[in-house]
Amino acid sequence: MNFTSFHFVFFFFTTLILGHVLKGRPQRAFLLAASYYFYGVFEPYYLVLILFSTAWDYLAGMAITARRDWENRGGAQGFLARLPAKTYLVASVLINLALLGYFKYTNFGITILNDVHPLGSTMFAFPAEIILLPVGISFYTFQSMSYTIDVYRGVLEARKDPIDFALYVTFFPQLVAGPIVRATTFLQQLDEGYNIRKNDIIVGVTRIIVGFFRKLVLSDNLAPVVNQVFSNPGAYGTVDIWVASFAFGWQIYLDFAGYTDIARGVARLFGYEFEINFLYPMAASSITDHWSRWHISLTTWIRDYVFIPLGGSRVGPVRVYVNIAIVWLATGIWHGAAYHFVAWGVWQFVMIAAHRVYGTTALGQRLKQSGSLIYNIASRVFLFFCLSFGFIWFRAPDMITANLMHGRQFGFENLNESLVFNSALFSHNQLKDLGEYIVLLGLLWFYEIFFNRYQLEYFWKPENRKKLIGILIAMIYMIIAMTPAETPNFLYFQF
């Protein structure tokens, strides 16, 4: 079910009213049933997979806790009682990764096999499988898996009530595209119960309106120029390609941040506070700063469950860079099962490694400490160009298209065929209203910098409520007046 559909509007208000009428366990059971309905609308068979994944991790968490209880009582009889707690953890992680691997990475594996197989380009190539990727599987798999790991680490006790755990995994606002919520956060709020106050309504409604504004007005109006250039990049020149890559960076950011805003707003109206997932990353001054602001729930998940277990930054310098490389390779593959997503992950590693090295030099330290306006502007502009270079891998359908577009960014005719440089590409601008798009992208940057300085929390203060009301009225007007006739699905549904 899409947040921008009338179906969701009816579902949301019905669920909100009934959800507040019921109390206690019946309330949680109702929200769980509503969440399964929300997810099953996409494709009923998705429910089988998420039910199995939920049941498996619930049993794994219970087994880990039971094993530790047996140890505290001096041991117990039986085969299962003798299995170490790590056995159940490993079983949980392996099953989760196996499900994710099959549905998301089977065909990528077949592609790799055909590429290395001597007869991979002939009739003897391994055929691709027809596998329907379940919506949100990358998100709820990581969320469910983190619960089992935390139970094993002793961060929390296994939840005995299966309804509570199932609601944690499938709560509909964040189910299909995050944010990835930790069990420690969600279950604590679940135990505390919710009594909606006036401020919860203000915060929730504000987030929802801002989310729809980001999605329908900003992101979706950038979609035409992005689709136009990426569908036929050979027809466009250097400036066109750069503008399209800039536009896609903003499009996917505003699309995903918009979804997160709506999810956090809806959750708040049910009494749940999800942690912020985007903190104005386009206002960042460095790549490390950028990734501390972009998709925070994923980056912190990978930090806590991948980077730190590998040794984090506590190991030798070479190992640190190896750990960072593993993290970004995993992040690239998490986003998509294709070579161009791997390349995107490698590019993030290259930028972060280069920034770490640069930060240790005398020049880097002196410029950072100077805090000059020129340096602050130049660092942001340079970062945005580097990010936009990488966004081409993220958006292009394959490496061939990405290679073509990267070459054209620097005046090469087609890097897939030759190193022929064509200076005419710098003036070969085919985009209509090119100047208007450049102005729009500049205004988006000012929008980002403004809200980075005056965040929504500033407008929630009682003395700023009139300003907030004015901003929200303007956003609602623009949503009504500027929403395109055709609005695409949220982009992160594909992950």
Neighbours of 211 (CB within 10 A): 22
335 is an active site residue: yes
What region, left, alpha or beta, does residue 131 occupy, with left being phi > 0 and alpha being psi -120 to 50 degrees? beta
290, 295, 335, 340: the catalytic one is: 335
* Phi, psi torsion values for 421, nearest 5 degrees: -95, 135
Determine the Cα–Cα distance for residues 119 and 206; give it in Å rounded to an integer: 57
Determine the Cα–Cα distance for residues 420 and 415; give it in Å rounded to an integer: 8
Determine the Cα–Cα distance for residues 283 and 396; give it in Å rounded to an integer: 25
Strand partners, 421: 412
What region, left, alpha or beta, does residue 433 occupy, with left being phi > 0 and alpha being psi -120 to 50 degrees? left
* Phi, psi torsion values for 68, nearest 5 degrees: -70, -35
Would you name the residues annotated as active-site residues? 335
